[in-house]
Structure 1
Amino acid sequence: MTTTDILGREEIVRLVDRFYEKVREDETLGFIFDKVAAIDWPSHLPKMYAFWQTVLFRDGGFRGDPIGKHARLVPLTAMGREQFDCWLALFEETVDELFTGENAAHIKRCAADMANVIHAKINAVPDERFDPMKITAEQRARYAAYRSAAP
């Protein structure tokens, strides 16, 4: 049931709430969030609203250390490609169920970039996708736009 594009905070909240419902029900990811990381959902969800609002609109006010938070889980549970691919598949599925448009497509690209970077960083995986000499013209333009829009 796709509706409009992601236009603001209201849609971000809807996306994040539905996505984490799926994560908590998922065999691969649910226990990582609920048992291993023992997420305090009432405090975590507002941080995720701010995070995705900052990613998409640059106005959510998010401050944090996503790589550090994920790295702390590495000694406690599997945090490999399977887990990140599952996370990304659920995220993209949720976006596609709820939204369509330019921002919906953009947030999925951002999520893919994030999943790849966090996975590589916390697992010390050399990945040619992160070699600055091998990024695509589209990636180069996107990163340049992020840098110029940063406060």
Structure 2
Amino acid sequence: MQVTAQASEQQIDKFVDAFYERVLADPILAPLFMDVAGIELSEHLPRIKAYWRKMLLGHSDYRRHMMRKHREVDARQPFTDEHYQRWLALFEETLKQHPLGSSTQRAAGLARRVAGNMRQNMQRFRA
């Protein structure tokens, strides 16, 4: 298998759009994102795209504190292991259909770390 070049901004944007299409159609995650968090897609998607451009390409256009927002959502409805597992499964399924070149494995590893760190952080925050 030939490794393709690092992900481009356009690939990242396409991946994020495809991932959120899955998330917002998912019976486990959609209520959490739409009803509990009340995300506004026109604001949320550009932030998430900026986050992944920062993580995969080193861009500096993402400057938010991710955990603060997630703590607010967790306070309204605690995240469960099922939420983390489903989020990660959808992320990995989307990566298979929309690979990010040589950044694909890095993105998968980062997603696993994000899910694990968030889970630990939320458990500590609740305690």
Q: TM-score, normalised by structure 2?
A: 0.89
Partner of 1:12: 12
Distance 1:23 1:56, change over 3 A: same
Report SS of the residue matched to 1:64: coil
Q: TM-score, normalised by structure 1?
A: 0.75
Separation in structure 1 between the aligned mates of residue 65 and residue 103 of structure 2, nearest angstrom: 24
Unaligned runs of 5+ in 2: none
Distance 1:97 1:35, change over 3 A: same
Name segments (4+ residues, structure 1) moved above 4 Å: none
Partner of 2:90: 90
1:6-32 superposed Cα distances (whole Å, 9 cap, x missing partner): 521100110000000100000110011
CA deviation after TM superposition for structure 1 residue 124, in Å: 1.6
Separation in structure 1 between the aligned mates of residue 32 and residue 111 of structure 2, nearest angstrom: 19
Identity %: 29
CA deviation after TM superposition for structure 1 residue 78, in Å: 3.2
CA deviation after TM superposition for structure 1 residue 74, in Å: 1.6
Separation in structure 2 between the aligned mates of residue 22 and residue 6 of structure 1, nearest angstrom: 24
- For residues 2-151 of structure 1, the aligned pairs below 5 Å read 7-99=7-99, 101-124=101-124
Report SS of the residue matched to 2:52: helix
Tell me if structure 2 keeps the 8 A contact 1:6–1:99. no
Separation in structure 2 between the aligned mates of residue 93 and residue 52 of structure 1, nearest angstrom: 17
Tell me if structure 2 keeps the 8 A contact 1:56–1:103. yes
Unaligned runs of 5+ in 1: 126-151
Which AA in structure 1 matches 2:45?
L
Separation in structure 1 between the aligned mates of residue 30 and residue 9 of structure 2, nearest angstrom: 25
Greater RCO structure (CA 8 Å; 6+ sep): 2
CA deviation after TM superposition for structure 1 residue 80, in Å: 1.8
Tell me if structure 1 keeps the 8 A contact 2:56–2:107. yes
CA deviation after TM superposition for structure 1 residue 119, in Å: 1.0
